[in-house]
Structure 1
Amino acid sequence: MSKEKKYRKKKKLGHYPFISVIFSMTLALFILGLFALLITTTTSLTKVIQQNVEMQVYLKSNLSEPQQLRISKSLASKEYILNEENIESIRFISKKEAAEKFIEETGEDFMQFLGDNPLKDAYIVKISPEYHSSQKMEEVQKDIENLNGVFEVIYTNNMVQSINENITKISIVLLSISILLFIVISILINNTIKLALFSQRFLIRSMQLVGATKGFIRKPFIYRSILHGIISSIIAAGLLFGLLTYGSQKLEGLAELQNQKMLLIIFSGLIITGVFIACFSTYRAMQKYMAMSLDELY
């Protein structure tokens, strides 16, 4: 009697071996989420690098404090100066402070030989990412040099060019891999569900023979696929969160690169993606099995 009940339970419409489906979907969604985390971390790191592109604005000698303050206000009013919360866009370094830093780094007191401090007061200004192209950086340099009291403006042109080129290359590579990865994962989940539904093909045909509509037959399978998609997505999101927490403890600075809003979007996106692919794959597999002839089912 117990064997008969077990057999009937296995043959219930919409019920099929789901462990392999959940495992495959969880693995696929975990890889997809892991790559999404890589993209967001790379984007955050890129933003940090862009926020630290600086120009050194050296002032003429013997400027008074009001003159220095006027230059600071003029710089702050420029649209190409980075304007971000919690970031110091304009920083003043006196020639005394610069000399002390030089002596600390090199261990040589050059003022003992020269008898004077030849360094100049300077402002270190951060440039907005919109102006990081070579042409715009040159325009910014010339504009600052035209300010009254400015002696010279210096920035590392090669570094700016290298940053722009690498960001472009990385963006293209990540976009290409993302598209390829999504296609591969979709195919993997689709094939897994198709194989899982293979055991139900004769039951589907039996339901058709007794006059059940396609919608009636599909309904329990679609509901089941939604459940599997949600379960797999939650497990994948949990694994990603655990991995991210562990990585933040082991890698210094990783936590600062994480955006809580983006993490929420990624985890929500995993659930939506898991449910969508599971439902779509189940629907296609059902259409295929319902359209097969009896000979093809064998």
Structure 2
Amino acid sequence: MASSYEKYQKRRLISSYFSVILSIFLVLFLLGTLSLFVINSKKISDNFRENIPMTIFFDKKTNKADLDKFGANLAKQEYIKEAKFVSKEDAAKEHQETLGEDFVEYLGFNPLQDSYDIHLKGEYVVNDSIDTILKELNTNTAISDIKYDKQLVDLVNENVDKITKWSLIIAAFMTVISMLLINSSLRLLIFSSRFTIKTMQMVGATKRFIRRPFIIHSIKLGVISSILAIIAITALTFYADSKLPDLNINPKEDYMPLVLVSVGIIILSIIITSISTFFATQRFLNLKSDELY
């Protein structure tokens, strides 16, 4: 009979450990995923900005030497992510493929102009920087016009600011929620040992001596949960990179965000579990024996 009871108690304890590990894992996974998004938000937003093209058109009198010189000078500019020369002949071919007919033959001449399609680096795709760049480019008399989608730039910047703001708010909210959930899970686990705590206290054990094994045990559960969360976040990151390469997360080359989040998760799990266990055991240590029921 005693053996069956011991087995029951063991199964109950294992079930409690599993519940605590699972709850801490889920909280750390969600918090870690959100933190990784916040850290990578600049890279993701820059990627969207860098996909907005700007086209520089040249006067038809501009010769090839001047175009090559302009291209070489353009490549040296710190704000340039990518620059590609598009001759009027190549532009005509692209239009012919799009329209499905040879408009050059119909008109008798090619009305298009030589141009450079450029993509600015993400940090320069803001109105102030673009205005400065346009003023600098327009000093070149060979340039006849510069086109870019100003409304798209405004829309992207506005949405990026909103997403960044709300991501930080949600991250702060999730941090508070995670602390409360982990604290509740550990308090339930320690609640099952409240009689053991009081018995140890009654035979003369100090509060510090009683708390220490509970804190160490909770930290171990937290570390196990954090390792599982790191594995899940790493797998999710590589999966997202394979399915959405345009986000430019690339954890194989830029692994520091993943490292920072992993270290943060482990430290957070240790801090929260130790603090929560300290206060949970302290609560039962301060209770009178008849209050344990």
Same fold (TM over 0.5): yes
* Pairing of 1:9-88 with structure 2 (within 5 A): 17-39=16-38, 43-82=42-81
Q: 1:4 to 1:111 in 2, by over 3 A?
A: closer
Q: Give 2:91's aligned residue.
A: 98
Q: Give the gaps of 5 or more residues in structure 1.
A: 83-88
Q: What amino acid does structure 1 have at the position aligned with 2:110?
A: N
Q: What is the number of residues matched between the two proteins?
A: 287
* Pairing of 1:247-286 with structure 2 (within 5 A): 251-253=243-245, 256-259=248-251, 260-286=255-281
Q: 1:128 aligns with which of 118, 121, 124?
A: 121
Deviation of the 1:5 alpha carbon: 10
The answer as to whether partners of 1:16 and 1:200 remain within 8 angstroms in 2 is no
Secondary structure of the corresponding residue to residue 204 of structure 2: coil
Q: Give 1:86's aligned residue.
A: none
Q: 2:282 aligns with which of 284, 287, 298?
A: 287
Q: What amino acid does structure 2 have at the position aligned with 1:63?
A: T
Q: 1:187 aligns with which of 158, 180, 193?
A: 180
The answer as to whether partners of 1:91 and 1:123 remain within 8 angstroms in 2 is yes
* Pairing of 1:196-275 with structure 2 (within 5 A): 196-245=189-238, 251-253=243-245, 256-259=248-251, 260-275=255-270
The answer as to whether partners of 1:58 and 1:120 remain within 8 angstroms in 2 is yes
The answer as to whether partners of 2:41 and 2:164 remain within 8 angstroms in 1 is no
Tell me the alpha carbon deviations over residues 184-218 of structure 1, each in whole angstroms, 9 at most, x when there is no partner: 11101101101110122222222222222222111
Distance 2:93 2:269 in 1: 59
Q: What amino acid does structure 2 have at the position aligned with 1:280?
A: I
Q: Give 2:156's aligned residue.
A: 163
Q: After the TM superposition, which of the residue ranges 186-195 and 251-260 deviates more from structure 2?
A: 251-260
The answer as to whether partners of 2:47 and 2:247 remain within 8 angstroms in 1 is no
The answer as to whether partners of 2:183 and 2:276 remain within 8 angstroms in 1 is yes
Q: 1:289 to 1:268 in 2, by over 3 A?
A: same
The answer as to whether partners of 1:36 and 1:266 remain within 8 angstroms in 2 is yes
Q: Give 1:144's aligned residue.
A: 137
The answer as to whether partners of 2:46 and 2:123 remain within 8 angstroms in 1 is no
Distance 1:247 1:153 in 2: 36
Root-mean-square deviation (Å): 2.8
Q: 1:98 to 1:4 in 2, by over 3 A?
A: closer
Q: 1:4 to 1:220 in 2, by over 3 A?
A: farther
Q: What amino acid does structure 2 have at the position aligned with 1:282?
A: T
TM-score by length of 1: 0.85
Q: Give 2:168's aligned residue.
A: 175
The answer as to whether partners of 1:59 and 1:121 remain within 8 angstroms in 2 is yes
The answer as to whether partners of 1:16 and 1:199 remain within 8 angstroms in 2 is no
TM-score by length of 2: 0.86
Q: 1:130 to 1:4 in 2, by over 3 A?
A: closer
The answer as to whether partners of 2:59 and 2:144 remain within 8 angstroms in 1 is yes
Deviation of the 1:142 alpha carbon: 2.2
* Percentage of pairs with the same residue: 32
Q: After the TM superposition, which of the residue ranges 154-163 and 262-271 deviates more from structure 2?
A: 262-271
Q: What amino acid does structure 1 have at the position aligned with 2:131?
A: E
Q: What amino acid does structure 2 have at the position aligned with 1:230?
A: V
Deviation of the 1:41 alpha carbon: 6.0
Q: What amino acid does structure 2 have at the position aligned with 1:20?
A: S
